[in-house]
Structure 1
């Protein structure tokens, strides 16, 4: 646990536990469905494995999570934090300004998208979405999302399957779409995103993904 505030106030006592760096983001990942250590690492790519292990041990010791045969799951106390995490997300959307360039991460974006695939909206069989981020240099420019019945996987190297549809454009714009700042349609109209593939796939692609609940938050004028 972090340093004590030495106050009896329950806010102070709660923050002694929750305001350590990365703790709330670890809880966010657990609430989003990540449970295995490697899945948590993919949702927190800039957190060192040693620090993640330390935070998981601490959260287990204080009773917010438990380890079920190698999978970390929230306890009742941990689940009660879900509305708080969601409220922080809504507040962040409403009142925190533009995201900076350093906040853009294709690996994190695709990982988040892969776990919010609406499999009922994706055509039967295997669908491969190829992402070409024109504002990203090097190998990190190209990504593939492979969707099969009930499963989705992210690849940073060509998996060798036929591509169903290609999304070409800036990482910033797709991140803004994913955050709910702009719609798919708006991003395509202004030319920041271009979708290549059969017409019916291009038309339905946005419905393949379910945005987070906070993405619909109304922004102040």
Structure 2
């Protein structure tokens, strides 16, 4: 029997649907696109196969994710966010940004992924308020093997996984640790660039626009 708070409250009901242990992290991985069961298992160190199967079934039942079979030659079954699942993106990004701002190095935390560092950059940018001169900018960001792009429209920054569909105004490349330092404010873009940890390819004005998304502490 599924556990429930039993409260007639929108927040309690949402937590019933998506806040079981590991469920939000499954959704985190699917923010970057469809994934096979084995992909999710590899991306979620510490989760047992029975727990992963249970969470996937639960999220399917609540219509937050769906299964799809890829066409040949892949012919693999993948899990992906539904429209309802994609509607959770702003919530997941906000929670990520909230956590990133409070993160500190800990000897108890040893698991680290470039994708999570990329998500940190994405989440912090999504909450930034770019200046009017940045409107229309497109930034492609690569953190090791993970790529996403940010588009500035009407003063809002919208992120999408994968490469940009048109040539980006600025291409950004860095490693996972530097990405975390930028997101948490431990390094400014100027400092990271000066140390050779951050590589920016684009006009100086666009570099300035992107850099304002990560003002540091």
**In which range does the TM-score fall when normalised by the shorter chain?**
0.5 to 0.7
Q: How does 1:57-206 map to 2 (within 5 A)?
A: 57-69=57-69, 70-94=77-101, 96-106=102-112, 108-109=113-114, 113=143, 114-116=145-147, 173-174=177-178, 176-177=180-181, 179=183, 181=185, 182-183=187-188, 186-187=191-192, 205=199
**Structure 2: runs of 5 or more not aligned:** 70-76, 119-142, 150-162, 164-174, 202-209
What SS does the corresponding residue of 1:116 show, helix, strand or coil? strand
Give a deviation string over 1:124-164, Cα, whole Å, max 9, x none: xxxxxxxxxxxxxxxxxxxxxxxxxx8xxxxxxxxxxxxxx
Give a deviation string over 1:178-209, Cα, whole Å, max 9, x none: 635324653576x7xx77xxxxxxxx7465xx
Structure 1 residues 218 and 7, CA, compared in 2 at 3 Å: closer, same or farther? farther
User: How far has the Cα of 1:175 moved from its partner?
Assistant: 5.7
Distance 1:51 1:98 in 2: 29
Number of residue pairs the alignment of both structures matches? 152
User: How far has the Cα of 1:37 moved from its partner?
Assistant: 1.8
What SS does the corresponding residue of 2:35 show, helix, strand or coil? coil
The answer on whether the counterparts of 1:65 and 1:72 sit within 8 Å (CA) in structure 2 is yes
| Alignment root-mean-square deviation, CA | 3.6
Give a deviation string over 1:57-89, Cα, whole Å, max 9, x none: 111111111100101111111111111111112
User: How far has the Cα of 1:35 moved from its partner?
Assistant: 1.5
Distance 1:218 1:53 in 2: 41
Structure 1 residues 99 and 5, CA, compared in 2 at 3 Å: closer, same or farther? same
The answer on whether the counterparts of 2:193 and 2:199 sit within 8 Å (CA) in structure 1 is no
Q: TM-score, normalised by structure 2?
A: 0.56
The answer on whether the counterparts of 2:182 and 2:214 sit within 8 Å (CA) in structure 1 is no
The answer on whether the counterparts of 1:37 and 1:71 sit within 8 Å (CA) in structure 2 is yes
**Structure 1: runs of 5 or more not aligned:** 119-149, 151-166, 196-203, 208-212
What SS does the corresponding residue of 2:147 show, helix, strand or coil? coil
Q: TM-score, normalised by structure 1?
A: 0.55
Distance 2:81 2:148 in 1: 23
